[in-house]
């Protein structure tokens, strides 16, 4: 276990832990992107959630997408790593293709829809819209940090 020394008390204190989440940028052939309106805060985001200890990141993304939307997917590739600096959450985002199922809501999603890239920009906070927009490109994975709403400068 890693510990850091508190300069005030000079006693070991555990390092803060990060939560790891996974999410899917599910892109249809017509370019529309799967989005959910979260039941807990009403915000539009891509489907995803906490990675369980016994699953791979790809399997976790598939599970979370299906649980929240009813859509079965095939994972294509990792498109980005995003850290919420305020909450200590590191999110791995995968570009996915829909392969089955049909849209439905869940306890975690109040609405499920397919958005155009323009609708993503208009509907989502910058910190979440960028995850979907990054997935549309062919570049290597992005690494970005944010405060829960807006991107923050790196460095």
pLDDT at residue number 2: 44
The domain ranges of the chain are 16-152
- Say which DSSP state 48 is in: E
Answer for the pair 46, 21: CB distance below 8 angstroms, yes or no: no
Residue with tokens 């996915």: 96
CATH classification of 16-152 is 3.90.79.10, yes or no?
Answer: yes
Is the per-residue pLDDT at 50 higher than 80?
yes
| pLDDT tens digits, 103-133 | 999 999 999 999 999 999 999 999 999 999 9
pTM of the model: 0.87
């Amino acid at each position: 276990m890693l510990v850091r020394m508190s300069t005030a008390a000079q006693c070991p204190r555990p390092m803060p832990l990060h939560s790891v989440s996974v999410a899917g940028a599910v892109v249809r052939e017509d370019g529309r992107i799967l989005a959910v309106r979260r039941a807990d805060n009403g915000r539009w985001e891509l489907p995803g959630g906490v990675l369980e200890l016994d699953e791979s990141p790809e399997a976790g993304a598939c599970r979370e997408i299906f649980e929240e939307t009813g859509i079965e997917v095939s994972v294509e590739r990792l498109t980005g790593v995003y850290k919420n600096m305020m909450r200590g959450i590191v999110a791995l985002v995968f570009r996915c293709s829909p392969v089955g199922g049909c849209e439905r809501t869940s306890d975690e999603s109040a609405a499920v829809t397919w958005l155009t890239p323009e609708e993503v920009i208009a509907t989502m906070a910058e910190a979440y819209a960028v995850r979907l927009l990054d997935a549309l490109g062919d570049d290597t994975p992005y690494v970005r940090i944010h405060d829960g709403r807006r991107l923050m400068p790196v460095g």
